[in-house]
Structure 1
Amino acid sequence: MGCYDCCMRCLGGVPYCSLVATLLCFSGIALFCGCGHQALTETERIIETYFARNLQDYITLAYIIQYFQYVIYGLASFFFLYCIMLLAEGFYTTSAAKQTFGEFRSTMCGRCLSFSFIALTYVLAVLWLLVFAFSALPVYFFYNMDATCHTIDVLTETPASINQLCVDARQYGNASICFYPRIDWLLPWNAVPGKACGMTLSNVCKTREYHTTYDLYIAAFAGAGITLLALVHCCLHLAVYQVYLKMLRYRGKDERRGYDLYRRMQRDRGTLCSPYPANTFDIT
């Protein structure tokens, strides 16, 4: 075997679909976890500086941010292991890996592992869809804040109208449930000042912390979308490949059944004898 044939055989054994899904998942998780962690830190700094000067007003927010940062650490570790499993599963499903490790897919254990991995990927895709939707909330908040600041910049000639334009951070962190009239998740309603109006809000939008936090949340949202795309791509690829292998197994069974029937007919044909006696003539 020449060098070219060896290289082609190695390249033929690379699971390109699984490799693309792994790279997308790695990049998406890295973008989501890294940017999301830093964005939460910058958010706490903005709330502390412009919306709640008393520590007791945003202590709940500080605990929630710390909790989400710990969750981000866990997500990064889990998806690192998952991407390794994804790439290993891709190598096992290639023809070169089957020649190296034997007919792994033909065993019941191999099929159970494959279907379990498909089910795990599907569950992760559904759960990550919720994470993707949740990561859009801070982007929506900063988008509204940026739109309000743009309106203030346009109406700079009428100060009376400017002071009526405000962003109240308290309304984004409160919920009402039938058992509890008011739940202050982020900021309580008595937080001082709790909102920014007019030129104060415009000055907030011009700070480096604001632009950095906004960009970080957009990057985290994009990372969540890339991860969701990788999970959907992986789930579809594994499902389609399992259907393809199932078709190959059925085709192989049909071919073996036809070959066995052909051999049986050949063997029976060799043992068949005519019930009539052979006519022999003496040629003199």
Structure 2
Amino acid sequence: MSWHQRHKRAYRKALEVGYFQALYSMYPSAIQRYSGWHADESCRNGHRDRTTGREEERENEATDSDSETEEESSDESQIECDISNMDISEELRQYFAQTERHRQELRCLECCIKCLGGVPYASLVATILCFSGVALFCGCGHVALTGTVTMVENHFSRITSDHATLTDVVQILQYIIYGIACFFFLYGIILLAEGFYTTSAVKEMHSEFKTTVCGRCISAMFVFLTYILGLGWLGIFGFSAVPVFLFYNMWTTCGAMKSPIANLTSVDNICVDVRQYGIIPWNATPGKACGSTLSDICNTSEFYLSYHLYIVACAGAGATVIALLIYVMATTYNFAVLKFKSYDHSRTTKF
């Protein structure tokens, strides 16, 4: 049963007991409001005769005081709404609670979608790849250089002055590795932050971000700097392949000593001379390793570890080149879109 039906039934019961005699004296407009709610003849025959005259008088008074009846009618409508709310308050409370929870879930979902839409996935992948490549190159390269110096000192150059230059060069390269690691750690974070801002600007997700000519110049600077660094890392990638080639030659030579073809010649005639690579001077002694000595060198942990670390360092340099290439494409695209938007929006655009 609806609240309207319950209200109507309560009105008829009150009419039977004569309750509305006092109500009509206080609110004359109630006659018109509840005139259609009167009970059947069987329920109100005893009250019609007593109330007919008074109802007509109150109806005439109601027409003379329209302003008062309008206010009273509005008050009664408010009371009626309050009664209806009281009747279904628990149901409404549950409905509103469920609706509010649903709205909060939608807001959270929309916020997550908006945040995910503003993530520069290209820059994020490039940052992860750049950090991994730089870490592999710097860490493995540092340890491999140390192992190379140890191997040269023990087997190819017995006099310290002969490999002093090599030791100094290795130390300089290790310091350069420290600087590269620190620089690219900061530069990767800066490029990732720049990718977040420009991606949000391109997708027009945050209207509060504004850019000027200076902002677009900064984006252009990142494009140019990343391009130069990419060329530099391309050179580092080629340079890191040189020790891999040298150690590969030694590895294959040691493998050739164990093959059946080596039995046709003397093992002592199979040698590796590191002086021809410019690592140590020509007057260094012994400068080369032959036969069983070369086989012993290939079985040392310094040779095995350095060889594989050089391979990993070269792979890390290649990964860094790919990461910088992705950076160049992402920053160039974002700069081009911002430049295009600057022509559509007078002098400023979103950033």
> Shorter-chain TM-score: what band?
0.7 to 0.9
Residue of structure 2 in register with 1:102 after alignment: 208
TM-score, structure 1 length as denominator? Answer: 0.79
Residue of structure 2 in register with 1:272 after alignment: none
Residue of structure 2 in register with 1:206 after alignment: 299
Distance 1:86 1:116, change over 3 A: same
Code of the residue aligned with 1:198 in structure 2: it is G
SS of residue matched to 2:272: strand
Residue of structure 1 in register with 2:251 after alignment: 146
Cα shift at 1:241: 2.5
Query: Does residue 22 in structure 1 map to residue 127 in structure 2?
Result: yes
Give the counterpart of 2:281 among 174, 188, 193: 188
Code of the residue aligned with 2:210 in structure 1: it is F
Distance 1:30 1:48, change over 3 A: same
Distance 1:110 1:98, change over 3 A: farther
SS of residue matched to 2:289: strand
Code of the residue aligned with 1:6 in structure 2: it is C
**Are the equivalent residues in 1 in contact too, given 2:216–2:339 (CA < 8 A)?**
no
SS of residue matched to 1:192: coil
Give the counterpart of 1:215 among 287, 304, 308: 308
Residue of structure 2 in register with 1:66 after alignment: 171
Query: Does residue 230 in structure 1 map to residue 323 in structure 2?
Result: yes
SS of residue matched to 2:158: coil
Higher relative contact order (CA 8 A, sep 6+): 1
Distance in 1 (alpha carbons) for counterparts of 2:207 and 2:319: 32
Code of the residue aligned with 2:336 in structure 1: it is V
Residue of structure 1 in register with 2:332 after alignment: 239
**Are the equivalent residues in 1 in contact too, given 2:236–2:317 (CA < 8 A)?**
yes
Q: How high is the sequence identity, in percent, across the aligned residues?
A: 52
**Are the equivalent residues in 2 in contact too, given 1:153–1:202 (CA < 8 A)?**
no
Give the alignment of 1:156-171 within 5 angstroms: 158=263, 160-171=265-276
Distance in 2 (alpha carbons) for counterparts of 1:204 and 1:125: 37
Cα shift at 1:100: 3.9
Distance 1:207 1:156, change over 3 A: farther
Distance in 2 (alpha carbons) for counterparts of 1:23 and 1:54: 45
Code of the residue aligned with 2:200 in structure 1: it is S
Distance 1:58 1:245, change over 3 A: same
**Are the equivalent residues in 2 in contact too, given 1:152–1:199 (CA < 8 A)?**
no
SS of residue matched to 2:257: helix
Distance in 1 (alpha carbons) for counterparts of 2:190 and 2:200: 18
Cα shift at 1:98: 5.8
TM-score, structure 2 length as denominator? Answer: 0.65
**Are the equivalent residues in 1 in contact too, given 2:271–2:290 (CA < 8 A)?**
yes
List per-residue Cα deviations over 1:194-253 (Å, max 9, x = no partner): 111112112211222111000100010000000010011110121122223344445567
Residue of structure 2 in register with 1:268 after alignment: none
Distance in 1 (alpha carbons) for counterparts of 2:247 and 2:283: 22
Give the alignment of 1:43-122 within 5 angstroms: 43-95=148-200, 99-100=205-206, 102-105=208-211, 107-122=212-227
Structure 2 spans left out of the alignment, 5+ residues: 1-105, 347-351
Q: Which has the larger radius of gyration?
A: 2
Q: For structure 1, which segment, 132-141 or 148-157, has the greater mean C-alpha deviation from structure 2 after superposition?
A: 148-157
Code of the residue aligned with 1:224 in structure 2: it is A
Distance in 2 (alpha carbons) for counterparts of 1:34 and 1:170: 27
Distance in 2 (alpha carbons) for counterparts of 1:14 and 1:56: 56
Distance 1:159 1:189, change over 3 A: farther
SS of residue matched to 1:52: coil
Distance in 2 (alpha carbons) for counterparts of 1:49 and 1:159: 30
Distance in 1 (alpha carbons) for counterparts of 2:249 and 2:209: 57
Cα shift at 1:103: 4.1
Distance in 1 (alpha carbons) for counterparts of 2:189 and 2:164: 38
Distance in 2 (alpha carbons) for counterparts of 1:67 and 1:42: 15
**Are the equivalent residues in 2 in contact too, given 1:28–1:226 (CA < 8 A)?**
yes
Structure 1 spans left out of the alignment, 5+ residues: 174-185, 254-284
Distance in 1 (alpha carbons) for counterparts of 2:285 and 2:207: 66
